[in-house]
Structure 1
Amino acid sequence: MHPKAIEQLVIEQAEAVAKELGIEVVDVEFQPGPRGRVLRVFIDKPGGVSVEDCRAVSVPLSGALDRLDPIPGPYRLEVSSPGVERPLRKAEDFERFAGREVEVHTYGPVEGRRHFTGRLKGLAGDRVQLEMEDGSMVALPREGISRARLRVRWQGAVER
C-alpha cells in the first residue's frame, strides 16, 4: 500500500476513535525512521492534549490497525500533540487560525516564490489569504500548498 493511502486510511480510523473523545486528528505521517518505520498521529483539542488523551486514542487505534493490517512489516505507532507550530491542513484550520502568523510552502512558485510568512487572513473560496509583513496581500491556492503551519516567534530568539 502506498504511504499516502496508508496515511488516509489511518486518518479515517483515527478520526473515528478521536471523534468519540472530542479530540481532533490534526495530521498523520508515515515515514522511515532511524529505528524503523514510524506512524505518527497528531491530535489536539481546546486546551491541549494530555498523555491520557494520547493513550485514549493510541490503544483503540492500534487495535483497529492490527485488525485491518494495512502496513506490511513492523512499524511504531506514536500519538502526540502537534506542538505550538501545528500544521494547517483542513479548510477549517485556515479559518480557525485567522489572525495568527503562519509559514506556508507551495509546490510551485506563486508570484515568483514558494515560501511565504505572514498573517493568516482566512480563506476566500479555495485561496488562502496572507498579509505579508510589508502589508501586501497574497492569495495562495489551497491545493498548491505543500506545507503550512502556525509560526511562533519566541521572545529573544534569533530570526532565521
Structure 2
Amino acid sequence: MTDAAQLTKLIEPEVTRLGFDLVRVSLSGTKYVSLQVMAEDPKTGQLTLDECATISRALSAMLDETDPIEDEYRLEVSSPGIDRPLTRAKDWTDWAGHEAKIALSEAIDGRKRFFGIVKGLDGDTALIEVDDAEIRLPLSLIQSAKLTLTDELIKASKPLSSEGADDIIEEKE
C-alpha cells in the first residue's frame, strides 16, 4: 500500500485516538521515500514538539506492525504551520478572509491556478474572491491549496508559547 488515500485511512484513526486532527498524509520520493503526516491539536490548530513526538511514536509502532509501505521510508510528523495547506472542507470556512494559492487538476474557464481571498464553502465547492469576483472551485478539482503568509494571517495564528521570546529580544538589544 503506497497510496496516500489508503495510508490516510490507516493513520487517521490512530491520530484521532491520540486526540489530534489529521490535516494531511503524503508520500513523496522514489529513491528516498518520506511519509509526511501533518496533524493539529483541535484546540490550537498547531502541535508542540512533544505532541509531534507522541504521534510519531504511536504511528511508528502501528506502521511497523501493519507494514503498509514496501520500501524503506522516513516518517515525518509536523504541524501545518502558519501558511498551512487547505486539505479538508472545514479549512475553507475556518480560514475565510485569508489569501490562498490554489492549483486545480482540471482547468475552469481556461485557468488551473488561482490566487485570492478564501470566502468559505458552499456544499462541495470552495469559494474564493479573485479581482472582486467570486469564483467557485469544486473541492474534487483542487489539487493543492495553501494559505499565503500575510500580516493578517500571522495575527490570526497565535503562537502556542512565547516562552523564551523575552530572552531572544534581550540578546538582540
Normalised to the residue count of structure 2, the TM-score between the two structures is 0.79
Which residue, 150, 155, 158 being the options, matches 1:153? 150
Q: Secondary structure at the match of 1:85?
A: coil
Mapping 1:7-156, distance limit 5 Å = 7-32=4-29, 36-45=32-41, 46-47=43-44, 48-132=46-130, 134-153=131-150
Query: 1:148: how far off?
Result: 0.7
* C-alpha separation in 1, matches of 2:30 and 2:53: 22
Q: Distance in 2 between matches of 1:13 and 1:29?
A: 13
Q: Secondary structure at the match of 1:102?
A: strand
CA distance in 1, matches of 2:124, 2:16: 26
User: Using the alignment, how far apart are the partners of 2:82 and 2:30 within structure 1?
Assistant: 23
TM-align CA RMSD: 1.9
What SS does the aligned partner of 1:109 have? strand
Shift of 1:24: 1.4
SS in 2 for 1:91: coil
SS at match of 1:57: helix
In 1, the alpha carbon distance for the partners of 2:64 and 2:6 equals 13
Structure 2 counterpart of 1:11, one-letter code: T
Structure showing greater Rg: 2
* Length-normalised TM-score, structure 1: 0.85
CA distance in 2, matches of 1:93, 1:12: 19
Contact residue 95 and residue 122 of structure 1 kept, 8 A: yes
Q: Unpaired runs of 5+ in structure 1?
A: 156-160
Q: Can you list the C-alpha shifts for 1:4-50, whole angstroms capped at 9, x where unaligned? A: 2xx2333233322222333111111111167x111110112243211
Segments of 4+ in structure 1 off by > 4 A? Answer: none
The percentage of aligned residue pairs carrying the same residue is: 33
- CA distance in 2 between partners of 1:88 and 1:53 (Å): 21
CA contact 1:17–1:60 (8 Å) conserved in 2: yes
CA–CA distance in structure 2, aligned partners of residues 10 and 125 of structure 1: 26
